[in-house]
Amino acid sequence: MTSSSPRPPSSQGPIVRWIDERLPIFTFMEHELNDYPTPKNLNYWWNFGSLAGIVLVIMIATGIFLAMNYTAHVDMAFGSVERIMRDVNYGWLIRYVHMNGASMFFLVVYIHMFRGLYYGSYKGPRELLWWLGLIVLILMMATAFMGYVLPWGQMSFWGATVITNLFSAIPLVGDPIVTWLWGGFAVDNPTLQRFFSLHYLLPFVIVGVVVLHLVALHTHGSNNPLGIDRKSEKDSIPFHPYYTIKDMFGLGVFLIFFMGFVFFAPNFFGEPDNYIPANPLQTPAEIVPEWYLLPFYAILRSVPDIAIPGTSIVFMEAKLAGVIAMFGALLVPAALPWLDFSKVRSAQFRPIYKQLFWIFLADCILLGWVGAQKPEGMTLFLGRAATAYYFAHLLILMPLVAKFEKTRPLPESISDPVLKNEGGE
């Protein structure tokens, strides 16, 4: 919604014009998809936003067809999934796309977020854009978690038990809340049915938040690798055809990667245990969530009892502290635009922050690795250290580096020829 005034698509025929005068959808599309001025220097890391949108559509499309053949009942869910795999025409394909699509969605979104971190895309005037993205991530996690429960395998059941039990850590009302979530006194049929209902609902909520994310994006336009505002017409190019073709090329590369898993390693991201039907009487040797939740799972399990040193007086039980830390890990990034008050957005001109960025990324990956291990000995220590660093990075290092870092001089403008070779492309 930048300067140029909306122009009706004059090249169109009378029917389009008739509609457009009454409901300006064509003007809107022309303005937001065609002309939409975009920085000319976006690199390939900017492809991941549109990829995430496309994966969302793929997930909803495949999910609708799966829901037509799935039965949300503890005695039939596992069998109905096997029926999809064996008897529904191309059911195996639809399910494997949906299953691997979940991993792809998180992969793409995590890359999208770390791109935002590197280039300072969360900074003003894009704070709400960042918030909406975080809300999408939290909704995605809830959706993915409930989706993982639906096949009613061992990991489905025990994952659901562990995660819903987290709420019992809430003082006083914890246990009633868990009973309320379950719809009974254990994870059982009512739990499965409500998870199915919510798993179908939440993706459409995600679509809604994504629309707001796009409105916020189009208000100020994309950030760019230099992190400086566009100054003249010369700095922008129309979205179409430049970025439509670039996004389509990126989509092609991504689909090769995605379909490689779907057709040749469809269970790569899954746990073998989830092909064992749920058994409430037999706990699996290890209960692990899907890879994309592992860093948060590591934080949850790393936090010890909070006690007064040297005494046995416990302020807060490890379970509650862990739950707070885990949700904190998701919520603290919302304060990032203010914790990092450096005026310079892009890490290209922030020598110290650039190093901290890579350390933070390594820390998140370390947390992911720890999340897949038993929390004991060295692993537990690593998990605690990595958890502490996660929060220290956001809450302590970001304000410090914003205050003391000597940033490099920013270029005059995006099209400033002096810095042409330092741009993102």
Binding site for other proteins (CB under 8 A): 40, 79, 82-83, 85-86, 92-93, 96, 237, 241-242, 245-246, 248-249, 252-253, 255-256, 259-260, 262-264, 266-268, 271-273, 275-277, 285-286, 288, 291, 294, 351, 354-355, 358-359, 361-362, 365-366, 368-369, 372
CA distances to 18, 25, 121, 297, 419 from 207, in Å: 29, 19, 21, 26, 39
222 in catalytic set: yes
Cβ-based nearer residue to other proteins, 220 or 240: 240
Minimum Å gap between C-beta 354 and other proteins is: 5
Buried-exposed string 265-278: b where 16+ CB fall within 10 A, e elsewhere = ebeebbbebbeebb
Minimum Å gap between C-beta 23 and other proteins is: 31
Cβ-based nearer residue to other proteins, 118 or 131: 118
Set 40, 73, 218, 240: catalytic member = 218
Set 222, 302, 342, 415: catalytic member = 222
Spell out the residues 6+ positions from residue 6 whose beta carbon is closer than 8 angstroms to its own.
24, 27, 28, 30, 31
Set 31, 123, 246, 319: catalytic member = 246
List the helix and strand counts (H, then E) for the chain. Answer: 16, 4
Instruction: Give CA 128 to chain center in angstroms.
Output: 16
Set 235, 271, 290, 363: catalytic member = 290
Minimum Å gap between C-beta 114 and other proteins is: 10
DSSP per position, 73-135: STTTHHHHHHHHHHTSTTHHHHHHHHHHHHHHHHHHHHHHHHHHHHTTTTSTT-HHHHHHHHH
Q: Where are the beta strands (DSSP E) in 271-418?
A: 306-307, 314-316
Q: What is the 3-state secondary structure (H, E, C) of 203-235?
A: HHHHHHHHHHHHHHHHHHCCCCCCCCCCCCHHH
188 in catalytic set: no
Q: Count Cβ atoms below 10 Å from residue 311 Cβ, excluding itself.
A: 7
Set 20, 30, 235, 247: catalytic member = 247
ω into 24 cis (within 30 of 0)? no
218 in catalytic set: yes
405 in catalytic set: no
246 in catalytic set: yes
Measured CA to CA, the distance from residue 74 to residue 278 in angstroms comes to 8
Q: Of 220, 224, 214, nearest to 2 (Cα)?
A: 220
Cβ-based nearer residue to other proteins, 20 or 271: 271
Cβ-based nearer residue to other proteins, 223 or 373: 373
Minimum Å gap between C-beta 78 and other proteins is: 9
Cβ-based nearer residue to other proteins, 79 or 208: 79
Minimum Å gap between C-beta 248 and other proteins is: 5
Cβ-based nearer residue to other proteins, 82 or 405: 82
Catalytic residue numbers read 218, 222, 246-247, 290
